[in-house]
Structure 1
Amino acid sequence: MKRGGGKAEEMSTTSVSSAASAADQRRKGTIIYIVYIIAALDITWMFLQFSVTPYLAKKLGFDTLWFGYLQTTVGLIQLIGGPMFGRFADLFGARAALSLACAATTVFFVLLVLANHPVLLFIHKLPTVFMHVLPACQMVVTDLSEPGKRADALSKLGLCFGVGMIAGSTLGGQLNTRYGESFTAGVGAAGSAFSLLLVLIFIPKSTKTEAPKSDTKPENQNKKVFSVREITRLMKYPKVMRIFLIKVAAGLPSGIFQVMFSIIAMEFFKLGPQENGYLMAYFGIVQMVLQGAVIGRLTSRFSEKSLLLLSIGVSACVGVAQAYMQNVLQFCIIVTPMIFSMSMFNIITDTMLTKSVPSSDTGTMLGLCSSVQSLVRTIGPTIGGFLYMNYGVSSIGLSQFFVNIVVFAYLLYRSRMTEGTKDNE
């Protein structure tokens, strides 16, 4: 009887454990879905802002050079804030990080409403030091997803990006055309406040699956948010420095085209706010199709190294196409491989980097990843403005081709060397 009772107790314990595990998975799934909604909303407000800033800057007397300075200011501020924000998320939890990011976005839009002078347009960029909603969403998804499914989970954030791009571009173009820049910025402020409300209601204080090992790792005992030693320590892990340098080198040329696109749309394609909104909505549709039907499936079937090579190779081909495009129709054809290469490259490099560090440091690692985009926004307008003013749009595309070809050749050579070493062993 006792043996039978023992087996029954074991079965009961196993059943309870399985039920608890299933409930925990459902809870994590719910949080991830809420995070996807927050990400889609944030991208909506950001693309709504893209329908305001270039045209407001033009009204306030900004030329291409000064608009480049404005973009550089944002990049520099976020370059400083990205790693700090990631470390803040690791130390204080997901809710605090997302709340800070959404609150900063709300202030950003309020200041944009009030920006009726060139100096105020620069001042309204100051809250961008904490405006890292998408990296914060990546942190939560990274914490709650299994390592083997992380690339797929992160790729779905790209689907949210597409949704937000369509909604924000269309809404921003319509609102700006009908009601002006101030009203459109006010809608962004109200929307960001709503995102903050979702964070406070649904996101738990911490999403880490394991506690930080500060008691066993002396280097983690420093609890300061801005600690250069703690942030740069991650570069000492195997493969991290190499992948990070590849992310910077291969991502810079395509990033330059991105930061210059608003100028290219206005001056090269001669698009107004409404037409630009429609074009960005088209980008969003392409992004959604690629993220929903292509990229997720590829990440589950092929190795990360193969997909990294593919994304860089496609990016090189896109550079050639950009160099010879003449009109919007040709650019619309280029958009599909362009978005595919950028999305795949960012997902794969972010996944590889977060897998290379302990789970307690994934927030800081993603903060460093976001700083790459900030670096592009810091130096990109200066480089892009110089190339565009002196050599035209084609020079930006050709630089993308040459840089990516070099990185592609390096990775291919390294891959063959690695295979050769294994064969000799």
Structure 2
Amino acid sequence: MNIEALAKPQQATGDAKEEPLGKHYKDRAVNMTSAQWVIQVTYLITVVDLSCMFMQMGIVPYLATNLGLDAVEFGYLQTVFGVLQLLGGPIFGRFADRFGTRAALILSYMAESLCFFLLSVSTSIPLLFLSRVPSIFMHGLPGAQMVITDLTTPAQRGDALGKLGLCFGAGVIIGSSLGGTLATTFGVYFPCYVAFSGCLVCALMVLIFIPAQTKPQVKGNTTQESVSKSSSVFNLTEIIHLMKLPGVMDVFLIKVFSGLPTGVFLMMFSIISIDFFHLEAAQTGYLMSYFGILQMVIQGLVIGRLTSRCSERALLISSVIVMSGVGIGMALMTNVFHYCVIVAPMVFSFSTLGIITDSILTKSVPASDTGTMLGISSSVAPLTRTIGPTIGGFLYRRFGVSSFGYLQLVVNAPLLLYLLKKKIPQKEEKVQ
């Protein structure tokens, strides 16, 4: 696939005209690279970005403790981060559709670098909270998904999106280990300086290697034209109108509800590992590494092969069935060995659900609105981070660990019946 056709700015609807961003670098990218090369560079940038993210995430609790925050106040800090990410997802997506994915990624990495800079000078609690504000535009992973969505055919999309799981796992391993080493050797603020520099490098790489417009130029096909009639990034009506397109709301709600019980459990895992499994900090770290490696293998190697052999509907139904089985296993779980057995199907179903629903959603909207759709979809994770601790804390204190399994079963069993009754997705691209 040649990126030259993809890199031309898409024709705007109505009277609005879009100016190509960074023409000089755009022309260089068009002449020197292919779509596959851009995707590979996007994977590399994503690894660097996620490494920077997890590098600072590991030191934020220690920094907060040093500044005098207690557990409740640290919860407020995390809630602020989650709410900002929740609100920023759809806005970021519309920005990418209006001004190009390259501009959106540069915005994300510059906001992330500002966040790390403010964190590096956070010598008081107000500054620490202020460092979370730029996170409203920090959406590097959804931005990478947008590039891949624009540069792949529908049949290739699930496999290409799944390989981002390898980037995520690499980012967790590199960022967590490097952040801890740097903080121990040079002080708690030093990882912030490294992450700040890394994000600036990511922004520079995007400017050089990513075309200004990655969306294909569509001519004479009204079904692929943008549903948006406004150029405003903050137009809520247009976002709601996109959700009303056939099949979009069904798949989005399946993504939200089916993955919520697993998300809530993972939010509470650090407490469960101490109180229920009676693990030391190092042992908990080993379990998290095990989880990360499983995610890398499943998303990077397994799901891609499945998408080339199975329909998206079959994979969606399979993930919900496996989640229901995981719920039964969690309800009966009594020790850490049981968890190690359960976590493999849990990661499979959770990862498959996320990748397949994203793939279906991007195929359900016009090509010019896939960024907005991915931005909306990316809001599911911060939504879980925002409400998860409240739900998880109540369930754990009132009913114990088994309640997470029952919640998994109660949510996914009706969803399975709904999927079997209704045709979702409404149409599928043939696997080539």
Q: Which of the residues 81, 85, 95 maps onto 2:88?
A: 81
Residue matched to 1:102: 109
What is the CA–CA distance in structure 2 between the aligned matches of 1:85 and 1:18, rounded to whole Å?
Answer: 27
Q: Deviations over 1:9-51 (max 9, x none)?
A: xxxxxxxx99989x98961111111111111222222222332
Is 1:336 aligned to 2:344, yes or no? yes
What residue is the counterpart of 1:296 in the other structure?
304
Q: Which residue of 2 aligns with 1:161?
A: 168
Ranges in structure 2 where 5+ consecutive residues have no aligned partner = 6-29, 427-432
Greater mean deviation of Cα atoms: 24-33 or 343-352: 24-33
**SS of corresponding position for 2:216:** coil
CA contact 2:291–2:343 (8 Å) conserved in 1: yes
Q: Which residue of 1 aligns with 2:321?
A: 313
In structure 2, give the amino acid aligned to 1:92.
F
Deviation larger for 360-369 or 376-385: 376-385
Higher mean C-alpha displacement, 266-275 vs 240-249: 266-275
Q: Do the aligned partners of residues 72 and 324 (structure 1) sit closer, same or farther apart at CA in structure 2, a change above 3 Å counting?
A: farther
C-alpha distance after superposition, 1:164-219 (max 9, x if no partner): 12222322343344444322333222222221221122111110112599999795
Among residues 39, 45, 50, which one is paired with 1:32 in the alignment?
39
Q: Does 1:50 align with 2:57?
A: yes
Retained in 2: the 8 A contact 1:169–1:278? Answer: no
Q: More helix by proportion, 1 or 2?
A: 1
Match of 2:134 among 127, 133, 137: 127
| Match in the other structure for 2:235 | 227
Does the 8 Å contact 1:88/1:97 carry over to 2? Answer: yes
Structure 1 CA distance for aligned equivalents of residues 382 and 191 of structure 2: 25
CA distance in 1, matches of 2:118, 2:97: 29
Which residue, out of 138, 148, 154, partners 1:141? 148
Does the Cα contact within 8 Å between 2:226 and 2:366 map onto a contact in 1?
no
Relative to structure 1, is the Cα distance of residues 139 and 213 closer, same or farther in structure 2, using a 3 angstrom cutoff?
A: farther
Paired residues in the alignment total 401
Inter-partner Cα distance in structure 2 for 1:102 and 1:296: 28
The answer to whether the 8 A contact 1:51-1:176 is kept is no
Q: Which amino acid aligns with 2:239?
A: I
CA RMSD of aligned residues (A): 3.1
Q: Give the TM-score taking structure 1 as reference length.
A: 0.84
Over 3 Å counting, the alpha-carbon distance change for 1:324 and 1:56 in structure 2 is farther
Name the stretch that deviates more: 155-164 or 84-93: 155-164
Mapped to 2, the partners of 1:331 and 1:106 lie a distance apart of 37
Deviation (angstroms), 1:332:
3.3
Aligned partners of 1:397, 1:317: CA distance in 2, in Å? Answer: 9
Matched residue SS, 2:233: coil
Pair 48,325 (structure 1): closer, same or farther in 2 beyond 3 Å: farther
Contact 1:106–1:188, Cα closer than 8 Å, also in 2: yes
Which amino acid is 1:252 matched to? L
Bigger radius of gyration: 1
Report the Cα offset of residue 328 of structure 1: 4.5
2:98 corresponding residue in structure 1: 91
8 Å contact kept, 2:164–2:300: no
Question: Is the counterpart of residue 407 in structure 1 residue 415 in structure 2?
Answer: yes
Cα distance change, pair 291–188 in 1 and its aligned pair in 2 (3 A) = same
Distance (whole Å) between structure 1 residues aligned to residue 188 and residue 277 of structure 2: 22
1:97 counterpart letter in structure 2: A
Q: Which residue is 2:200 aligned to?
A: 193
- Report the AA paired with residue 135 of structure 2: T
CA distance in 1, matches of 2:408, 2:2: 51
Q: Check whether the contact 2:114–2:196 (CA below 8 A) recurs between aligned residues.
A: yes
Give the secondary structure class of the aligned counterpart of 2:189: helix
For residue 94 of structure 1, report the CA deviation from its aligned partner: 1.3
